[in-house]
Amino acid sequence: MKNLNKKQIISLMKIKSPFLMIDKIKNIIDLKSSLGIKKINKNSWFFKCHFINDPLMPGTLVEEAMLQTIVSTLYSNKKFSNKICLITSAKTNFYTKVSKPTTLRIYVKILKIKKLGIETSGIVKDHKNKKIASGNYNYFISKK
């Protein structure tokens, strides 16, 4: 199993803070699955500007954490090093909000890889193993 640190993720994804929604990826099983980690603290940038007086992490950023974990997992394989994975469909379900410091655990699976498309899924849980969100995502594969 392979792991990626923040510096490696930035290099693969070409995304940096504050929009980088994952801190590290662990337990990468090549083109099968991985576990993304994102530490949320009381000073996280979105708490300062989203729903003032009742701050929470926007659902779009929770979803983005899943998408970034999926694509980083794909890009960590040499087969995808010269490809771009573009999201074509997303279906995300949300179960509870992220309004306090926690560590998000982002479990992703690569379900099917076709010539031009990839089917994936993800689940986000907090540090108490409470489900935050889940979803199914499809990607189109193109050359850089």
Q: Which residue numbers are catalytic?
A: 50
51: CB partners within 8 A, 6+ apart: none
Give the number of residues written for the chain. Answer: 144
Residue type, 43: N
What's the DSSP call for residue 79? Answer: G
Encoding tokens for residue 67? 């998408």
